[in-house]
Amino acid sequence: MQEEDIQRIQKELNPFQESELKFLRQEVDRCQDARFVKEPLPNANQNYWCAAEELDRYVRSLRNDGYWI
């Protein structure tokens, strides 16, 4: 392993980051379920993609800061 990888493994999320990540994951799950109900809202797909993109951006920014997710 390289030095950079070892530092990344050792870095942990603070409580705020953990709760934000949990919230975003739950939002993606909720929006995904809403897409497949019998009569979904007209913007259900858009809501899902927005939530998924927001989660992806957040995870990417944490990884760029050296967090191992």
What is the value of pTM for the model shown?
0.81
Q: Indicate the Cα dihedral angle 29, 13, 69, 25, nearest 10°.
A: 0
- CA distances 62 to 8, 28, 33, 39, 42, Å, are 10, 18, 26, 36, 32
In the numeric block, which tokens belong to residue 56?
A: 């992806």
The proportion of the chain whose per-residue pLDDT surpasses 90, expressed as a percent, equals 70
Average confidence score pLDDT of the chain = 89
- pLDDT for 36 beyond 70: yes
Give the count of beta carbons closer than 10 Å to the beta carbon of residue 42: 6
Q: Which amino acid is at 29?
A: D
pLDDT classification of 20: cutoffs 50, 70, 90? very high
